[in-house]
Amino acid sequence: MRVAVYYNNRDIRIEEKPIPQIGDDELLVKVVASGICGSDVMEWYRIKSAPRVLGHEISGEVVRTGKNVKNFKAGDRVFVSHHVPCNECKYCKKGYHTVCETLKKTNFDPGGFSEYLRVPEINVKFGTFLLPDEVSYEEGTFIEPLGCVIRGQRFAGIKKDDTVLVIGSGIAGILHIKLLSSNGIRKIIATDISEYRLDFARRCGAEVIHASDNVSERVKEINDGYLADVVIVNTTALVAFEQAFAAVDRAGTLLLFAPTAPDIRIPLPLFDLYFKGVKIVFSYAAVEPDIIEAIELLKTKKIYVTDMITHRLGLNDIKKGFELVEKADRSLKVIIEPQR
C-alpha cells in the first residue's frame, strides 16, 4: 500500500509498505478521508519523531476484523481515534483523560496518511465509532478537531450571556465559532491576520477584528465598553497571548488551546491577571464523551462543516496539502483521500 512518510514539512515521500496484519482483537480499516491538522505542520512537534506516517483526523471503512471483535464488521463506516486513555488511572477517574499516560502511548498503525491502517485492541475498545448514515466520510474528518473544541469549551465553562473572543480563525477558531453559535452564545468576536479567514468568521456569525488592530480597545467598542468574558487562543503567535491577557475582562477566563514549542517562555502580567481575577485553563485532545457529542452535532447538522473544506487532494499531492496548511492563507480544511 501507499503511505506518505513525513521527514519534515518540505520532505514528504510516497512510499510502499505492506498492508498491516491484524491480531484477533484488532481491525483493518481502509482510509477514505484524512484531514491535515494544524499540528501536522508544527515542524518542531513532528520532526522529533520523523520519519513517520502522520494523519489522525480519519474516517474509513472496516475491511477486516479479528476473530474476537464483536462490535464491528467488514463494511462498517467508522471514525477511529488515534489516542485513547486507559479510563482507569486517577487522572481518567477525575475527568482529565487527556493527561493519562496511556493516551500519549497509543496510536493506530501506521497513520492516517496511508491507504490502510491497523486499529490496535485498545483503540477498537475506546476509540472506534460507527459513522451514522447522516455523516459523510468528509464530515468524519472533523470529528476529532470538533471533539477537541467541545472539550475546551466545557473546561472554560462558557455561559450563554458571555462575550467570547476567539483569537485565530483557522480550523480550530472557526469550529469554536460554530460551536459557540450553535450554543446561542450572546456575542462572538474573532481575530486573524488573514482577510480570507476573517470573512469566513464573519459569515459564521462573529464580529471580526484584524489582529493588527488594538484588539482590546476594539473589543470594548464592540462590547459596550467591556472586555471579553472568555478569550480562546488558537495560535502560538506570541502577540496573540499579549492580546489575550489585555482583552480578558475581570473575572474572565483564558482558554489556551494551542501549544507552543517547549522552549518558548511567555511573560505573564501577573499583577493584572491577579487583580482581575482571571482564570487560565488549558485543553488538549478529545476522548469518548467529546467524540460522541461531536458525532451527534454533525449527524443532526447543528454544526455544518463541509463549507470549511477548501481542498481535496489525493495522497500523491500531500506535499501541496502541507504547504497550504502551513501557509494558512486561502485554505481552511485540506482533506487527503488516500484511495485516489
CA distance 302 to 172: 17
Predicted pLDDT of residue 325: 95
Q: What is the pLDDT of residues 126-142, one digit of tens each?
A: 999 999 999 999 999 99
Phi, psi (rounded to 5 degrees) for 17: -135, 155
Label residue 45 by pLDDT band (50, 70, 90): confident
CA distance 321 to 336: 8
Mean pLDDT of 300-311: 97
**DSSP structure string for 155-177:** HHT--TT-EEEEE--SHHHHHHH
CA distance 80 to 11: 27
Tell me what percent of the residues of the chain surpass a pLDDT of 90.
96
Give the architecture (CATH level 2) of 149-282: 3-Layer(aba) Sandwich (3.40)
Cα dihedral 196, 150, 47, 86, rounded to 10, equals: -170
Q: What is the pLDDT of residues 144-181, one digit of tens each?
A: 999 999 999 999 999 999 999 999 999 999 999 999 99
Name residue, grid cell 513517520. 52
Is the pLDDT score of 31 beyond 90? yes
Residue 233: name the closest of 245, 251, 221 by CA: 245
Neighbours of 51 (CB within 10 A): 13
Enumerate residues 6+ apart whose C-beta is below 8 A from 310: 324, 330, 331, 332, 333, 334
Label residue 269 by pLDDT band (50, 70, 90): very high
Predicted pLDDT of residue 44: 83
What does pLDDT average to over the chain?
97
Mean pLDDT of 204-227: 98
Q: What is the pLDDT of residues 228-248, one digit of tens each?
A: 999 999 999 999 999 999 999
Is the pLDDT score of 40 beyond 90? yes
Mean pLDDT of 11-24: 98
Is the pLDDT score of 271 beyond 90? yes
Is the pLDDT score of 329 beyond 90? no
What single letter denotes the amino acid at residue 90? K
Cα dihedral 285, 86, 100, 172, rounded to 10, equals: 0
Mean pLDDT of 107-113: 97
Is the pLDDT score of 16 beyond 90? yes
Is the pLDDT score of 108 beyond 90? yes
Predicted pLDDT of residue 152: 98
Please check whether residue 334 is in contact with residue 36, taking contact to mean a CB–CB distance below 8 angstroms.
yes
What single letter denotes the amino acid at residue 73? K
What single letter denotes the amino acid at residue 211? A
Is the pLDDT score of 25 beyond 90? yes
ω into 51 cis (within 30 of 0): yes
CA distance 14 to 340: 13
Predicted pLDDT of residue 158: 98
What CATH number has the domain spanning 2-142+305-337?
A: 3.90.180.10
Domains of the chain, residue spans: 2-142+305-337, 149-282
Mean pLDDT of 35-56: 93
Is the pLDDT score of 223 beyond 90? yes
Residue 35: name the closest of 275, 331, 264, 251 by CA: 331
Please check whether residue 56 is in contact with residue 111, taking contact to mean a CB–CB distance below 8 angstroms.
yes
The separation between CA 234 and the C-alpha centre of its own chain, rounded to angstroms, equals 10
